[in-house]
Amino acid sequence: MNFVVGKRIRKTGELGGSKALILTTVGAKTGKERTNPLSWFDDGSGGWLIIASAAGATGNPGWYHNIRRNPDRIRIEVDGRTVAVDAEQLTGEERALAWKVIGDNPRFAGYQDKTDRVLPIIRLTEKN
């Protein structure tokens, strides 16, 4: 992750006019920690919704594969704190409800229009 981007997110909690967090996962192939800046949306119950858009690319981003491979080793930096999180991919009605929130964002709506795949939506919740 770019140092300047990380510094900006840590300072303002935003990137490109959207709420942002820093996601840390463990590489599916390498086993090394990886960080990614991501926009997030409020899930309405204290969790964070992230979307595996890869800017509308044909495949999912690397961090998505890392979450699936190492679901117990995920944390985020958000609102000035570091939080260990659980990740759940939303499907069916839950995904449809989450998309109503995310799809209002023109950038993400454009990413969905750009690709044939259904963009995965992940709910992150603080570990108990």
In CATH, what number is assigned to the domain containing residue 75? 2.30.110.10
The three-class DSSP label of residue 4 is helix
| pLDDT > 70: percent of the chain | 100
The model carries a pTM of 0.93
Q: pLDDT-based confidence at 42, cuts 50/70/90?
A: very high
Mean pLDDT, range 23-34, rounded to an integer? 96
Q: pLDDT-based confidence at 23, cuts 50/70/90?
A: very high
Assess contact for 76 and 83: CB atoms under 8 A. Answer: yes
More confidently predicted of 19 and 103: 19
Question: Considering its fold, how many domains does the chain have in total?
Answer: 1
> Among 21, 57, 25, 13, which Cα is nearest to 38's?
21
Domain of residue 81: give its range.
Answer: 3-126
Q: What is the pLDDT of residues 88-128, one digit of tens each?
A: 999 999 999 999 989 888 888 899 999 999 999 999 999 98
Mean pLDDT, range 8-17, rounded to an integer? 91
pLDDT of res. 3:
78
